[in-house]
Amino acid sequence: MIIAGLTGSIGMGKSTTAAMFIERGVPVHDADAVVHALYEGEAADKIEAEFPGTVTNGRVDRSMLAKHVVGKPEAMKKLESIVHPLVAAKRDEFLATHRKNEEPLVILDIPLLFETGGDSLVDWIIVVTASAETQRQRVLSRPDMNPEKFEAILARQVPDSEKRKRADFLIDTDQGMEAAHHQVQHIIAELHQAGKSV
């Protein structure tokens, strides 16, 4: 089974691209979606115990949690020590299931692939990219976003230029969605070919 890592900085179109792989029958493990589910499930009590007042009706209130951890490296480390092992367990479950089903190719959609060492788990790396101008326009058009918040997020991410250098495949969403669809199709074909030649 080939494991490909899908990553890209904020606003590059990674989620849209992940959906294109799913449309073509490739199983995708979405780390962000897992975190959302954990915040409404098994992580909630642990987070409330560490950061009192952040859970309402059994669900982590992200804006309350942000007040406790944003710009506070020690608090962020504590949060990660709660969440990361739970995410890793779900990921391992996903991989075990698809290995058992003899799936030829799976995708791990990990926004912070390089930042969390996730690149060591994958055989190939796919980076979703776009120009800095396009990225800025997309992100700042989001309702809960402002330039300061955008800069703070960028500061925590490996720069796009570095990600491009470390990629096996690039998907450039600047060229429009149709072009991205073609790129996805091409990558799937290449990876299936690589799997056969192993």
Could you read off the pLDDT of 3-19 as tens digits, one per residue?
Answer: 999 999 999 999 999 99
The stretch 179-186 carries a mean pLDDT of: 95
Q: Is residue 79 part of a domain?
A: yes
pLDDT score for 197: 60
Per-residue pLDDT band for 179 (boundaries 50, 70, 90) equals very high
Distance CA 156, CA 154 (A): 5
CA distance 177 to 118: 27
Same domain, 85 and 159: no
Determine, yes or no, domain membership for 54. yes
- The H or E element spanning position 55 is strand 55-56
Asked whether the predicted pLDDT for residue 154 surpasses 80, the reply is: yes
pTM, rounded to two decimals:
0.88
My answer on whether 127 and 178 are in the same domain is yes
Contact 122, 4 (CB under 8 A): yes
Neighbours of 26 (CB within 10 A): 21
Residue 157 confidence (pLDDT) above 70: yes
Residues 122 and 150 in one domain: yes
In a domain, 34, yes or no: no
Task: State pLDDT tens for residues 114-142.
Answer: 988 889 999 999 999 999 999 999 999 99
Does residue 5 sit within a domain?
A: yes
Q: Are 92 and 35 in contact (CB under 8 A)?
A: no
- Of 102, 118, 145, the domain-final residue: 102
Q: Which two tokens stand for residue 45?
A: 């009590």
Chain-centre distance for alpha carbon 21: 14
Assess if residue 32 is contained within a domain: no
CA pair distance 9, 11, nearest whole angstrom: 6
